[in-house]
Amino acid sequence: MTISARTTREDGPQRSTARAAAADRSLRSAGDLIAAGLVAPAHRAALDRVAERYAIAVTPDVARLIDPADPHDPIAAQFVPDSRELDRQDVERDDPIGDLAYSPVEGIVHRYPDRVLLKIVHVCPVYCRFCFRREMVGPKGLGTLSAEALDRALAYIAARPEIFEVILTGGDPLMLSARRARALTRSLAAIDHVKVIRWHSRVPMVDPARITVAFAQALRAAGKAVYVAVHANHPREFSPAAEAALGRLADAGIVLVSQSVLLKGVNDDAETMAALMRAFVANRVKPYYLHQADLAPGTAHFRTSIAEGQALMRQLRGRLSGLAQPTYVLDIPGGEGKVPVGPDYSGPGEVTDYRGGRHRYPPEAIEEP
């Protein structure tokens, strides 16, 4: 039987005091979540079993966004553990997108000819319950890449002039200190053929105070294009503090793009997804990818079908300008790369508009009078 991680309740004085005490630190266990009023005490045993397998972390900023009275709260669904995570389907994989098959040296994933992933850290400020690297990240993982391993990874990049772009990921690479982020940026900037440095992160949304003006400046590199891909899945994630952090990055000259995951019960309706994309654009973040949820263990309750995602994208086409349209993509299991799986608007001799109307193309010739 599925046990919901949340329940409707009234806060008494003791629970309110416990929530206040937990407000200034990250929540990392079922006990912490109970003390903060985000989980019913009756569910502790079930969630302790989840915690034995998968990391838990909810920052104070995220905890403040959760409505504990809503059993379907979209923020809680992303970060509060659920007993369904222990239900593994046969199609699910520990390494669903095949990182390990394309890792020539520790810390590097070289799947595409002109770009590599550099997995610099294996910890995050929060742990998404649908994470495709959930078997590899967390306090029990590898921590930060050692100095020796980083040297080998940088040497690998430097020895391959075809590498145009380095994508910093993990874990969450913005968990580095400003000093270490600056040092890494300078090391990559010293490699002449690397022209683009891209950081993938949830930090601006879930721990925005980390993104100080000094931190934003630490990511800059003279003569290089620097991007930050910001991960958010629901418009409520755009708190005033998160919007301010995005502003500090944009004001520092960092180009911002978005990443989101299509999640059942979180953002799988046109109204929510449209609001999310508008929130990105309003904060100078260009919508980039909308990911089909990967086949990570224990995540079936989050996954929609591709057909459902395509129907959603058709609805967005009529609601949003092109500036706010993400590309709907699937990471092919096993490591064969991303492919767009958005709806097809053209067929033999015709095109389909966003309302579903079909039109001949090229149109029939018009006879002049």
Q: What's the CATH code of the domain at 214?
A: 3.20.20.70
Of 363 and 206, the structure prediction assigns the larger pLDDT to 206
For residues 158 and 276, membership in a common domain is answered with yes
The one catalytic residue in 6, 84, 119, 133 is 133
Range(s) of the domain holding residue 39: 13-81
User: Is 111 an active-site residue?
Assistant: yes
For residues 230 and 116, membership in a common domain is answered with yes
> Does residue 4 fall inside a structural domain?
no
User: Is 151 an active-site residue?
Assistant: no
User: Is 328 an active-site residue?
Assistant: no
Q: What is the pLDDT of residue 323?
A: 97
| Both structure tokens of 238 | 């755009």
For residues 335 and 291, membership in a common domain is answered with yes
CB 171 within 8 A of CB 143: no
User: Is 119 an active-site residue?
Assistant: no
Backbone phi and psi for residue 333, each to the nearest 5 degrees, phi listed first:
-55, 140
Q: Is the pLDDT of residue 368 over 90?
A: no
Backbone phi and psi for residue 42, each to the nearest 5 degrees, phi listed first:
-65, -15
- Nearest CA to 149 out of 95, 108, 180 is that of 108
Q: Is the pLDDT of residue 18 over 70?
A: no
Q: pTM value?
A: 0.91
Last residue of a domain, one of 52, 81, 110: 81
The one catalytic residue in 54, 61, 124, 202 is 124
The one catalytic residue in 294, 303, 314, 328 is 294
Q: What is the pLDDT of residue 211?
A: 98
User: Is 112 an active-site residue?
Assistant: yes
The one catalytic residue in 6, 128, 303, 328 is 128
pLDDT, mean over the chain = 92
The residue with tokens 């993990």 is: 170
- CB-count exposure of residue 292 (10 Å: 0-12, 13-18, 19+): buried
Q: Is the pLDDT of residue 3 over 70?
A: no
For residues 223 and 256, membership in a common domain is answered with yes
For residues 140 and 268, membership in a common domain is answered with yes
For residues 194 and 146, membership in a common domain is answered with yes
> Does residue 19 fall inside a structural domain?
yes
Q: Is the pLDDT of residue 7 over 50?
A: no
The Cα–Cα gap between 314 and 354 comes to: 6
The one catalytic residue in 84, 93, 111, 303 is 111
Whether residue 37 has a cis bond before it, omega within 30° of 0: no
For residues 62 and 190, membership in a common domain is answered with no
The one catalytic residue in 15, 67, 88, 112 is 112
> Does residue 365 fall inside a structural domain?
no
Q: What is the pLDDT of residue 279?
A: 98
> Does residue 354 fall inside a structural domain?
no
The one catalytic residue in 115, 236, 286, 317 is 115
- CB-count exposure of residue 147 (10 Å: 0-12, 13-18, 19+): exposed
User: Of all helices (H) and strands (E), which one includes residue 338?
Assistant: strand 337-340
Instruction: Specify the number of domains making up the chain.
Output: 2
For residues 73 and 133, membership in a common domain is answered with no
> Does residue 7 fall inside a structural domain?
no
> Does residue 321 fall inside a structural domain?
yes
> Does residue 165 fall inside a structural domain?
yes
Q: What is the pLDDT of residue 335?
A: 87
For residues 68 and 122, membership in a common domain is answered with no
> Does residue 353 fall inside a structural domain?
no
User: Is 289 an active-site residue?
Assistant: no
Q: What is the pLDDT of residue 24?
A: 79
Q: What is the pLDDT of residue 366?
A: 63
The residue with tokens 């982020």 is: 181
For residues 25 and 165, membership in a common domain is answered with no
Mark out the alpha helices in 229-323 (DSSP H runs): 240-251, 270-282, 306-319
User: Is 294 an active-site residue?
Assistant: yes
For residues 73 and 164, membership in a common domain is answered with no
- CB-count exposure of residue 60 (10 Å: 0-12, 13-18, 19+): middle
For residues 59 and 137, membership in a common domain is answered with no
Q: Where are the beta strands (DSSP E) in 187-336?
A: 196-201, 225-231, 255-262, 285-292, 327-332
Q: Is the pLDDT of residue 188 over 90?
A: yes
User: Is 210 an active-site residue?
Assistant: no
Q: Is the pLDDT of residue 16 over 50?
A: no
